[in-house]
Amino acid sequence: MFKTSNEKNLSKKEKINLLKQKHEPLFSKLGIANPLYAPKMMFGSPLVFYMFESEIKEAKDLYTEKVTRDFDSEDESRTLYVWKYNPNYIKDYETKETSHGEMYVIPFSELTPLIENTDADEFDIPNPDEDAPFSELTIRDLAAIITGKPVSHKNWLNKIIKN
């Protein structure tokens, strides 16, 4: 469990907002506006988590992370996961009656960790809305561009050539 002393007397809503703030730069970088974010407790074997029907009915992907009952992070790395919306949720998932009402049981295996692509950071790519300086072009980069083959040492350039 990972929390700071400032988080001791916060409401549930305030704690969730603090957890979400950590992921805002990634949401922004990925172009995800107004994400459905709900941190979840994970438990059982195999590992599962519960979702309210109101969360699923929004027909949006759910972004979550592992937390305790008190909404303290259980993951030092604060891994953000995405559950892809399943329109067949009524048929595909069992339900469980809890003290909070009926909830859908979702296998943890359906969560995909969101890993931030750091190619741009690693190679110090200039703003993608602007051209890169010509002085940074290598002979290998030029050969990649002319031949249309991804032989550059710049992964971002190879990706452009492949597409």
pLDDT tens per residue, the chain (163 residues)? 555 445 567 888 999 999 999 999 988 888 888 999 999 999 999 999 999 999 999 999 999 999 999 999 898 889 999 999 999 999 999 999 988 889 999 999 999 998 765 544 444 455 555 666 667 788 888 888 899 988 887 777 888 888 8
Which residues, 6 or more positions from 121, have their beta carbon under 8 angstroms from its beta carbon? none
**Can you give the pTM of this predicted structure?**
0.66
